Structure 1
């Protein structure tokens, strides 16, 4: 999908992982990309001069307004670091409070675009993998389930995308299943970060993704459908 209208996108979480892939893909598609960073110098060194880096900390609401000025859309992929233990206080202040701080700053800035939020599948379906992740990152799936309700009750346009286990693999090679159910968090439900990056950039302005929640994982076989076609059947929450 080509961009229409708003050209400046704020990526919260754009300095690492899936967020960084999203920021780079946006730039490739000629968007102006602003990235929120606690350490702007480090982020600038990693991302390069093509990106606007603005200082801010999700856990400190008063640092966010400069990043929210004059942005057309917001993509939020930030969360407590994966792969190591995180206390429940860190999880709550990042995965829950950080989202609320961003929504509040967006409203105060008169934001009228779409807020696109990255979440995990399995937040409403019990599984062994979900249990283990909640032990490692204390109750992260609980706080992420709760913050979805806060996003939906805001007066902002939004899209919530729940993703499967993330793999560092090339995108566009495997079929993608788009559904609006509640898949369990299990390794069979996985997807490449590169495919997720495409999903976010496409959903950001797709009309059927407005005020919708959906889940994406790899399907069987090769990719045959465009993202536009995959998103055309979405229903609002």
Structure 2
């Protein structure tokens, strides 16, 4: 991975939700690139056992806006919101009450955005979202059944961030897998795809695309789909080029 530019070395990248899934991979990849990383975690002790030495770990719970205010979001170069609901069956929030799921997946995003604004954050807020939340599909219906209308929450939080006044990028992943990085091509396209069990993306590849988006000017105010396809892992420049071909910025939504 190419190193982070020297002029960014002193400004940390913040990962909210850094102890599992794609958020954990974002934090690890950023460290490998030589970046300063601040991890915000509900369980700081757990985070210290998972993240490389040198990561600035701070306590923060997305259901508690005050705790995010104390986490120090204002001086960050970019904020990645990588939070998902936990607990329930398989530890992934399956069949938890829908109000608990919304409190984390939607209201948690609202709390993070408002805490960032209150702290004077002026970087890019990168949201990890799901593909095709506005389009009917079998995979979407299945997801909503086991995770309490998760796609509705995704639509609402996408709209909230778009109307927040912050600089933002929204990456919409396909079905996430635990495949290793670099085994396939990474496609970054306009946000036009339905969620499909056949359209997948390895978590480390999704993480890589989101990191590139955080620093690519053309990814400002863009939503995009990310998924794997047959082929070789792309060079960094190829990912940037795909982001630059996304088209004009998305119109701002009205925050609710």
Provide the rounded CA distance (Å) in 1 between the counterparts of 2:188 and 2:75: 32
1:22 maps to 26
Post-superposition shift, 1:117?
0.4
1:58 maps to 62
1:98 maps to 108
Provide the rounded CA distance (Å) in 2 between the counterparts of 1:19 and 1:181: 21
2:253 maps to none
1:79 maps to 84
1:231 maps to 243
Q: 1:86-105 CA deviation, whole Å, 9 max, x = no partner?
A: 21111111111110111111
8 Å Cα contact 1:14/1:35 also seen in 2: yes
- Range moving further from structure 2, 13-22 or 175-184: 175-184
Mapping of 1:1-237 within 5 angstroms? Answer: 2-4=3-5, 5-6=7-8, 7-67=11-71, 68-81=73-86, 82=92, 84-224=94-234, 226-235=238-247, 236-237=249-250
Q: 1:54-102 CA deviation, whole Å, 9 max, x = no partner?
A: 0111001111112214212101110213362221111111111110111
Q: 1:30-76 CA deviation, whole Å, 9 max, x = no partner?
A: 11111111111121122243211101110011111122142121011
Q: 1:113-161 CA deviation, whole Å, 9 max, x = no partner?
A: 0000000112011111111111111011101101111100111000000
Provide the rounded CA distance (Å) in 2 between the counterparts of 1:2 and 1:153: 32
Provide the rounded CA distance (Å) in 1 between the counterparts of 2:180 and 2:41: 26
Q: Where does structure 1 lack aligned partners over 5 or more consecutive residues?
A: none
Q: Where does structure 2 lack aligned partners over 5 or more consecutive residues?
A: 87-91, 251-256
Post-superposition shift, 1:3?
3.0
Provide the rounded CA distance (Å) in 2 between the counterparts of 1:224 and 1:212: 21
RMSD: 1.5
- TM score, norm. by length of structure 1: 0.94
Provide the rounded CA distance (Å) in 1 between the counterparts of 2:24 and 2:197: 23
8 Å Cα contact 1:158/1:210 also seen in 2: yes
8 Å Cα contact 1:191/1:216 also seen in 2: yes
- TM score, norm. by length of structure 2: 0.88
